[in-house]
Amino acid sequence: MRREVVYLEDIVRAAGEILDFTRGRKPADLVADAQFRNAVLFSLTVIGEAANSLSTEFQSTHPEVPWRELTALRNRIVHGYFALDDGLIWEIVTIQTPVLSEQVAEILRVEFPR
């Protein structure tokens, strides 16, 4: 079983990839560029899978992070990919993902210092 720190690192890495992917992009690119869309959705899926893999106990010690919502988004992407709201995905990747990245990076700094 992977340690909690590895899942947290996966979240920060995938969030960073999303931030890199979206730099200089606009919402219409999610529709116009399949490669861009797939890269963003894959990284969101990684975030959701990693969040879901964290223990319930660990998640409960960090209620500021929306663990359940991250997992729910992963499930929506995987099982309801045909009905995703591009505006909502854009909001998640440009507004919520930077916040998530900082939250999880702070948990890593405090609980798993290098």
User: Is 74 a catalytic site residue?
Assistant: yes
Active-site pick, 37, 79, 109, 114: 79
User: Is 62 a catalytic site residue?
Assistant: no
Return d(Cα 59, Cα 65) in angstroms, integer.
8
Which run of H or of E encompasses 5?
helix 4-22
Active-site pick, 2, 23, 25, 74: 74
Q: Are 104 and 8 in contact (CB under 8 A)?
A: yes
The catalytic residue positions are 74, 79
